[in-house]
């Protein structure tokens, strides 16, 4: 017996078909971003090194999405192939998202130390070691949190395109909540605390009419724009992905699979499905955000495009 409703099957097909060109766009945008970040000495600052890590993780996510969605829309696929694609996609998306959001949090902590604690002797001396060690820990945490998805994510024999976690036991529910805490709530708190304190500090120290030397004032303005760009990017990441994590926690508490929701309410199923799609799309949105809000990246991108036009 086929448990899937035919009136909602179109949603998966349309989403997969739309995901292919979007993933290709994201892949090209991230490759372009990576090229920009290697093209000028201004991008050899610590924060931009961390941005490179985010870009690489997004590239991995884009490549996986292009492969899995392209295979999915080619026609009928076997249960084994669908199962493999499901596990690969969920693992890669979780791993990539985890690295990106935790690294963005690390950027906020680095910005906090640079602006709020510029004279900290320990951080100035051990900054590179601290950041490298923290990034290594982030990669390990992202892998550890994503690994269980390889064992619990699968498709159904009756619907090989519906990637789901069919058996939501108490242990699986605990995993959902843990993943949400590690990948959303902890980095969210870090981002809010660091950037809110930075904003308060900058507002209190950059007032109209204050007497600054021109060079010092220019430096402060650059720091303000630089920090504002990262605040915008971090805010968008949190706002775009919160429906997915709320949905995950709701499924964990109710101990329901996506198929259970699909049988109960087509509308709720569609909303959860869309929340997952928007979270996946963050790897496409990220490079566009950097190009839009980071002045250094935008300026260098313009110079590169003008150079190619003149050829």
Per residue in 166-199, pLDDT (tens digit) is 999 999 999 999 999 999 999 999 999 999 988 8
Question: How much is the pLDDT for 220?
Answer: 63
| pLDDT band per the 50, 70, 90 thresholds, residue 15 | confident
Helix 6-37 × helix 295-309 angle, to 10°: 80
Q: What is the pLDDT of residue 219?
A: 57
Is 198 buried (19+), middle (13-18) or exposed (0-12) by CB count in 10 A?
buried
CA distances (Å), origin 6, targets 3, 12, 72 = 9, 11, 17
Confidence of residue 221 (pLDDT cuts 50, 70, 90): low
The Cα 99–Cα 58 span in angstroms is 9
Helix 214-254 and helix 186-205, axial crossing angle in degrees, nearest 10: 160
**Structural domains of the chain sorted by starting position, each given as residue range(s) with its CATH number in brackets:** 7-305 (1.20.1070.10)
- Could you tell me which of 69, 110, 96, 31 has the C-alpha nearest to residue 287? 31
Q: What is the pLDDT of residues 100-155, one digit of tens each?
A: 999 999 999 988 888 888 777 888 788 889 999 999 999 999 999 999 999 999 99
pTM score, two decimals? 0.87
């Amino acid at each position: 017996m086929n448990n899937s409703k035919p009136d909602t099957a179109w949603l998966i097909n349309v989403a997969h078909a739309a995901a292919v060109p979007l993933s290709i766009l994201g892949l090209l945008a991230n490759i372009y971003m990576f090229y920009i970040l290697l093209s000028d000495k201004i991008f050899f600052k610590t924060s931009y090194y961390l941005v490179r890590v985010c870009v690489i993780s997004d590239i991995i996510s884009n490549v996986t999405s292009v492969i899995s969605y392209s295979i999915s829309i080619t026609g009928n696929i076997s249960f084994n192939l669908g199962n493999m694609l499901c596990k690969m996609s969920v693992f890669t998306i979780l791993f990539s998202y985890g690295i990106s959001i935790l690294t963005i949090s690390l950027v906020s902590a680095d910005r906090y130390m640079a602006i709020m604690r510029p004279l900290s002797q320990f951080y100035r001396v051990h900054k590179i070691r601290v950041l490298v060690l923290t990034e290594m820990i982030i990669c390990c945490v992202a892998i550890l949190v994503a690994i269980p998805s390889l064992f619990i994510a699968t498709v159904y024999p009756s619907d090989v395109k519906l990637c789901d976690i069919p058996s939501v036991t108490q242990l699986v529910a605990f995993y959902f909540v843990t993943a949400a805490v590690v990948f959303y709530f902890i980095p969210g708190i870090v981002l809010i605390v660091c950037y809110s304190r930075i904003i308060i500090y900058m507002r209190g120290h950059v007032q109209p009419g204050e007497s600054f030397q021109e060079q010092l004032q220019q430096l402060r303005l650059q720091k303000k724009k630089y920090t504002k760009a990262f605040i915008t990017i971090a805010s968008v990441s949190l706002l775009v992905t919160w429906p997915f994590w709320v949905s995950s926690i709701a499924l964990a508490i109710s101990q329901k699979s996506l198929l259970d929701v699909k049988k109960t309410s087509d509308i709720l199923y569609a909303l959860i499905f869309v929340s997952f799609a928007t979270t996946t799309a963050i790897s496409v949105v990220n490079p566009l955000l950097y190009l839009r809000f980071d002045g250094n990246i935008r300026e260098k991108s313009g110079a590169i495009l003008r150079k190619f036009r003149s050829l």
